[in-house]
Structure 1
């Protein structure tokens, strides 16, 4: 059985999801990126770092043992840490650089799998398509919260949601699924 979703299509969707995330936050001030609705809530900046943190750990743990691109951010962006402990956020430029660096590693590693430059390329292709689907869905999962805070709490308009034949909406969330 093969997936109807192919790696090149999924990489484009990953980039589309990340571009939408950027539309949700890059025009915000540093204070807005760090602002928390309440003590038991995370700032937009945490969600941005967490999206990249999860992408790195999934790539690292499922396809290649790579060192963290930002070990100092690992304890801050881990969802296992309770919200009150999520205060040491980097500035927006550092968040952007972290996100870009992780996305570059996702592309490099998945590209190596796509091109067969790995051991067990067919098996890793199955892993890569599943992994990319999860990364895309995770990006949109946090985009939903970022968008809600952006519009309801910070009073900024929302950009148009991305359009793709591979996206659907479930429970108000954009998702990609191979149904």
Structure 2
């Protein structure tokens, strides 16, 4: 149970770092694409939440999506040129916040034993959260590259955690630290 609580804190740390990478940008910078086969920062933001929702939904609890109209747009299997226009920054923010609240609620229920197969779901939730955190940081790297290299914006310092390191340039959570 304590491990899930600690991983939820790491999830929040990863999301806070993502916010440092984009919240000071103007909407045009969030939706701008460096070239036609490149994703905008806003797409990465929606995709991070999209993956979190689908992983929680498919591995721990079936529930409808918070914004089903975004499903095809935020799916990385959809080629960039077919994804369509990004939603507003406000809609992306609401989507990300709703998904994070659902992650917390579901993992909180698992940690509190409010589910059947509590022990099995604790194992699943531990790996699920580790994957979500590392996925968040994976896309943070790409957001960082557009922010720094294309928009000329300074990067925030890496988040501080004894469980984080860099592997191949990407921040990675070590679940065993």
Please state which band the TM-score falls in when normalised by the shorter chain.
over 0.9
Q: Give, in whole Å, the separation in 2 of the partners of 1:178 and 1:30.
A: 35
Identify the residue that residue 106 of structure 1 maps to in structure 2: 103
Partner of residue 173 from structure 1, selected from 128, 146, 170: 170
- SS state of the match for residue 75, structure 1? helix
Q: Give, in whole Å, the separation in 1 of the partners of 2:76 and 2:37.
A: 13
Structure 1: tracts of 5 or more residues without a match: none
- SS state of the match for residue 137, structure 1? helix
Identify the residue that residue 45 of structure 1 maps to in structure 2: 42
Alignment of 1:77-96 (within 5 A): 77-96=74-93
Alignment of 1:86-165 (within 5 A): 86-165=83-162
What TM-score, normalized by structure 1, do the two folds share? Answer: 0.96
- SS state of the match for residue 69, structure 2? coil
Kindly tell me the number of residue pairs found equivalent between the two proteins: 176
Moved over 2 A (4+): none
Root-mean-square deviation (Å): 1.2
Q: Give, in whole Å, the separation in 1 of the partners of 2:82 and 2:18.
A: 24
Structure 2: tracts of 5 or more residues without a match: none
- Alpha-carbon shift at residue 83 of structure 1 (Å): 1.1
